[in-house]
């Protein structure tokens, strides 16, 4: 987590119901002082913060993050507003079960500014994409997508806010389905049975 953690909050709320089928075992951030970590603490979920600057080299951060996460033995890792690329050690350990959320319809507008880039391009429809992380930037196999219309009156914030409302619902529905039913990935095609 790097941001305010509204996606995290939606997951924490969903997990309060046993029938949901998933549980958040821990929440980590790459920055201290995020509201996301506070939200996790309030929900009684263990937290950790590993900042790149605490480590001599990025490779050391990668190794440390991998170890901390491994100790929680997660079935699925959700990057929700995590604005750093995970490293090669993390990918080697957890590849295929790291899901990220991006506020645009991939493969359009990858990177840090999905809503801004969609507005600047003038698209009439954008949305959000859940995908399994690969080596690229927002390029991995797509798990789920949802569309959001762009309004004449939109600015970056209003558009991102409407995307986030749809994104939270999609994330909750998809994480629940993955946890309850499992998934397969063949090439780029992700199937939830």
Q: Is 53 exposed, middle or buried (0-12, 13-18, 19+ CB in 10 A)?
A: exposed
Kindly tell me which residue out of 14, 45, 167, 190 binds ligand GAR, with binding defined by CB under 6 A. Answer: 167
**Overall size of the chain counted in residues:** 193
Kindly tell me which residue out of 90, 106, 164, 175 binds ligand GAR, with binding defined by CB under 6 A. Answer: 164
| Bond into 107 cis (ω within 30) | yes
Neighbours of 44 (CB within 10 A): 8
Tokens for 64, please give them.
């440390």
Which secondary structure element, helix H or strand E, spans residue 86, and what is its range?
none
State the nearest-atom distance from the C-beta of 12 to ligand GAR, in Å.
11
| Binding flag, residue 4, ligand GAR (CB under 6 A) | yes
| Subset of residues 92 to 151 that bind ligand GAR, contact rule: CB under 6 A | 101-103, 112, 114
For residues 31 and 52, the answer to whether their CB atoms sit within 8 Å is no
Catalytic residue among 39, 93, 102, 164: 102
Q: Based on CB atoms, which residue is closest to ligand GAR, 30 or 167?
A: 167
| Binding flag, residue 5, ligand GAR (CB under 6 A) | yes
CA dihedral for 64, 69, 71, 75, sign (positive or negative): negative
- Tell me the three state secondary structure of residue 138: coil
Is 102 a known active-site residue? yes
User: What does residue 62 show for φ and ψ, rounded to 5 degrees?
Assistant: -55, -50
State the nearest-atom distance from the C-beta of 110 to ligand GAR, in Å.
8
| Binding flag, residue 74, ligand GAR (CB under 6 A) | no
Q: Based on CB atoms, which residue is closest to ligand GAR, 16 or 112?
A: 112
Q: Based on CB atoms, which residue is closest to ligand GAR, 65 or 148?
A: 148
Kindly tell me which residue out of 28, 81, 87, 176 binds ligand GAR, with binding defined by CB under 6 A. Answer: 81
For residues 77 and 106, the answer to whether their CB atoms sit within 8 Å is no
Tell me the CB-side half-sphere exposure of residue 133, using CA atoms within 13 A: 24
x-marked contacts with ligand GAR along 15-44 as a string, rule CB under 6 A: ------------------------------
Catalog residues that contact ligand GAR under the rule CB under 6 A: 3-8, 80-81, 83, 101-103, 112, 114, 164, 167
Residues carrying an active site annotation: 102
């Amino acid at each position: 987590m790097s941001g305010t953690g509204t996606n995290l909050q939606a997951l924490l709320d969903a997990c309060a119901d046993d029938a949901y089928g998933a549980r958040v075992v821990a929440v980590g951030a790459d920055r201290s002082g995020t509201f996301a970590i506070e939200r996790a603490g309030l929900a009684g979920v263990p937290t950790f913060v590993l900042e790149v600057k605490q480590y001599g080299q990025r490779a050391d951060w990668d190794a440390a993050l991998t170890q901390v996460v491994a100790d929680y033995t997660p079935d699925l890792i959700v990057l929700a507003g995590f604005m750093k690329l995970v490293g090669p050690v993390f990918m080697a350990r957890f590849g295929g079960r790291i899901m990220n959320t991006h506020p645009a319809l991939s493969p359009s507008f990858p990177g840090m500014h999905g809503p801004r880039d969609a507005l600047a391009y003038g698209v009439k429809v954008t949305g959000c994409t859940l995908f399994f992380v690969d080596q690229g930037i927002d390029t991995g196999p797509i798990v789920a997508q949802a569309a959001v219309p762009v309004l004449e009156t939109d600015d970056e914030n209003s558009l991102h806010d409407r995307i986030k409302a749809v994104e939270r619902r999609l994330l909750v529905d998809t994480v629940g389905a993955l946890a309850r039913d499992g998934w397969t990935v063949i090439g780029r095609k992700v199937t939830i049975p």
